[in-house]
Structure 1
């Protein structure tokens, strides 16, 4: 038996497994692809008999599946020699299943967005009314509900920043960076939070990580310079502001930072 027929047999045998897992789309797809392989191959008599039985059994499984019947209520018909007609029917079934999957995905996305917006609004209100413990519990639960959503964690952090709860903001920004290490805005925000916490050395380390992803971002170097400014590391503040100005010569705030750091070192300010 050829490798293609071996694969086709394996695919047909997976139909029942997929249906038990309530996955009609891959079940139909597996049978569709398998029959296509069978039709492309010159079969010996014994192989033809084997695949006729395999296809018949798979069609019976599909016809008896409750989840598939909800989406495609028509009965699939198959007799030996009618593989081409069955393939055409399965193609129509796949179209129905794919369209349904798209609509279900849209509904899931809409539901997720509604739950997130509702949770953030409730958390914001709790923070604004100084009910911080309740806000922590609610927002931590919301984050756990969507464990891979870095933007959600960044938005939660913004709520905590607004309430001057910087330790909590740091925790969520750190998680956001862990999930999306290439998102530079998270580094800029965590740098601001760490400045508020006077954790300058940790802030520096985060900015050094960010440079791997955004060597050409002047704001990154400017915000690093702000860390050095609060840290009173005047030479480093000068260097960071010069890097920002090299990338954006008209960056007014970076120029101010440069001249302030020069003044602190007893050097002459430089014109813009």
Structure 2
């Protein structure tokens, strides 16, 4: 997932926190900016599905917020393919609000985003220096400040993965899944981490949850194929590579995977 899409998810995740703090303007600005990113970014199907669920949840929070109902008499709805219309509605709503308040909200959002970036970078530096406890302290403090930011937890997990701290990465991915239990992307990442930890059966369970949410992601089936390679289940490797190629017949690595599985199966038959 691109950095822009991660940014969009983070903005959607922050809406709940802003409304809890009675910060309506930042919540609306966050939603507007997130939809703007979604509109201008090409999405594959499972990403569209994830964002559709996230937008529905965010709009439900806004529509039921007393402050929002006072300034917006209509119920905002998200319809697939009509994101531009929703973006226009939000823009008109923001234009109706005081310009200075909107500008202030945008400045606050930028300041908060800068804070997250700086602290994530600081935590990454500490991990690179082997100062694991110090890094954990920075990340824990950051999440206390942004408790509803699912993508912040995901980004922390990625930093731990980058430094081969699989156990900690799994912990943060699990926390992110508690916030967003319908994310195929998160189930996929948990499956990958568990594979690296040698927990093949658990890895398979998480991958299958990802498949139930996203059946058209060639990369997901390729990742499951990598699990079965480590597990030495060659028929399953062949099956997953084939499914990946059915979705994307130009997937060179999946074709190589299937050829590898065929060779292993043939060798197994010869030894039988």
Deviation at 1:183, TM superposition (A): 4.0
1:101 to 1:182, Cα distance in 2 relative to 1, 3 A: farther
Report the equivalent of 2:82: none
1:212 to 1:136, Cα distance in 2 relative to 1, 3 A: same
The equivalences for 1:1-272 within 5 A come to 98-266=98-266
Kindly indicate whether structure 1 or structure 2 has the higher relative contact order, using CA contacts under 8 Å at least 6 residues apart.
2
Report the equivalent of 2:42: none
CA RMSD of aligned residues (A): 2.9
TM-score, normalised with respect to structure 1: 0.60
Gapped runs of 5+ residues in structure 2? 1-21, 25-65, 74-93
In 1, are the aligned partners of 2:185 and 2:210 still within 8 Å (CA)? Answer: no
Mapped to 1, the partners of 2:222 and 2:118 lie a distance apart of 35
Mapped to 1, the partners of 2:169 and 2:237 lie a distance apart of 25
- Structure exhibiting the larger radius of gyration computed from Cα positions: 1
Deviation at 1:240, TM superposition (A): 1.0
Mapped to 1, the partners of 2:240 and 2:95 lie a distance apart of 56
1:30 to 1:254, Cα distance in 2 relative to 1, 3 A: closer
1:107 to 1:242, Cα distance in 2 relative to 1, 3 A: same
Deviation at 1:98, TM superposition (A): 4.0
Mapped to 2, the partners of 1:22 and 1:265 lie a distance apart of 60
Mapped to 1, the partners of 2:145 and 2:23 lie a distance apart of 23
Gapped runs of 5+ residues in structure 1? 1-20, 34-93
Mapped to 1, the partners of 2:259 and 2:23 lie a distance apart of 66
SS at match of 1:122: helix
SS at match of 1:212: helix
1:258 to 1:103, Cα distance in 2 relative to 1, 3 A: same
TM-score, normalised with respect to structure 2: 0.60
1:103 to 1:229, Cα distance in 2 relative to 1, 3 A: same
Give the stretch that moved more between structures: 193-202 or 173-182: 173-182
